[in-house]
Amino acid sequence: MGPAPSDSPTRPIPSLSDLWRWDLQRTLTALSPSRRRQLRSFAASAQGLVPQDGGDAAPLLDLASNDYLGLSRHPAVTTAAAAELQRSGLGAGGSRLVSGSRPVHQALETALASWLGRERALLFPSGFQANLAAVGALADRHSLVLADRLIHHSLLCGVRAAGAQLQRFGHNDLHDLERHLAAARAAAPQRRLLVLSESLFSMQGTSPAVPQLVELCQRHGAALLLDEAHALGVLGPGGRGLGHGQAAIALISGTFGKALGSGGAFVAGDADTLEALLQTSGAFRYTTALAPPLAAGALAALAWIQQQDAERQDPGELLRQRARRWREVLAAAGWPRPAGEGPILPLLVGDDERALQLQHQLERDGLLCVAIRPPTVPAGSARLRIVLRRDLPAGTLPRLLSALGQP
């Protein structure tokens, strides 16, 4: 007797050579339309970002990018990048340990380390690579890594690449972290422990209590890696991040593609740890060096931030003041008050479809603000990620409230 009939259409059994394709197709089929991403292209104009989706789309005011200080178009930054382009060419042509190092790389590393109060810094082409390298420098297959539950994906990939054991603690919950640390130290007094956190979480807009986090790690003998990507230029004294002045932090990672308006990334720490990273990290050794024009642009942006600080004009203060006002006004209008204090304002919606509807609604009114959905954020917590910049025009907040409509 044959198998019972099925209501679902039969699908041919794939050949062995097509199994990989079969699995990919199953993954795509299982992905709901509200979770499926689309790659969109935008042309930059003086009026905003113009979607290249076909037709004559109007420019959109950018409330989505991480160019917090508006430095990607600052004349000092673009002029420095253009000059380095003429001097060194577009790409470095090799890794830093072969032929790719340029004077501008060393100048940026030196200036950055001094600004951050660290002994040394090393550059990377991307923040993802920097975090892979940083985790690998502090953990191995014998280590236990304790990571904030909402830590960036690149850091989790670093843990997997290092082969370390992973445990998660509640988001910014130092009591939960202490419980994990105490248990880990009691179970293995000599085991290497590493804690991973961020100073400004990119999708939550929240920050940990960094001094207390540092003290907790010291008390239990755990190294701390702090990702400062979204805080630099915006939070901390003179925009130096929330880890500034905390010498016990083992390594700090950060990027130039956000507040510094360029591209690339770095890891900063003490000289011995950075030398060990240089000697052992594939993420540093086996990649083409950061493009010299990007390094020059980042160096000029850093100089601008330092000049603002020297003139007693905290580069992030105006942005933080604006962020506080926006949070208060959004809450008064009936929306959930966005968490945190910095320029990232997550407007919690919950439902994936509703978040997408709001995104499209804002675009019809000329505002670009992207819906963030799982797996980037936990299920049931889809949101609009509103990002503030120093150069937003007056009247942007009333325009946003009108476009959002009633909560």
Q: Where are the alpha helices (DSSP H) in 292-378?
A: 292-310, 317-332, 352-364
> Rounded to 5 degrees, what angle do the CA atoms 175, 176, 181 make?
95
For 111, half-sphere exposure in the C-beta direction (CA atoms, 13 angstrom radius) is 17
Longest Cα pair distance anywhere in the chain, in angstroms? Answer: 87
Query: DSSP class of residue 54?
Result: S
315 with 233: CB under 8 angstroms? yes
Distance between CA 200 and CA 203 in Å, rounded? 9
Q: Which residue numbers are catalytic?
A: 66, 152, 198, 202, 227, 230, 258
Query: DSSP class of residue 90?
Result: S
Give the type of residue at 198. E
Work out the end-to-end distance of the chain between its first and last CA atoms, rounded to an integer number of angstroms: 60
> Could you identify the residue written with the tokens 């380390």?
113
Sign of CA dihedral 77, 289, 389, 118: negative
Distance between CA 302 and CA 241 in Å, rounded? 13
Q: Where are the alpha helices (DSSP H) in 53-124?
A: 75-88, 103-116
Distance between CA 78 and CA 83 in Å, rounded? 9
Query: What is the rounded radius of gyration, in angstroms, for the C-alpha atoms of the chain?
Result: 23
- The full DSSP string for 175-212 is HHHHHHHHHHHHH-TT--EEEEEESS-TTT-----HHH
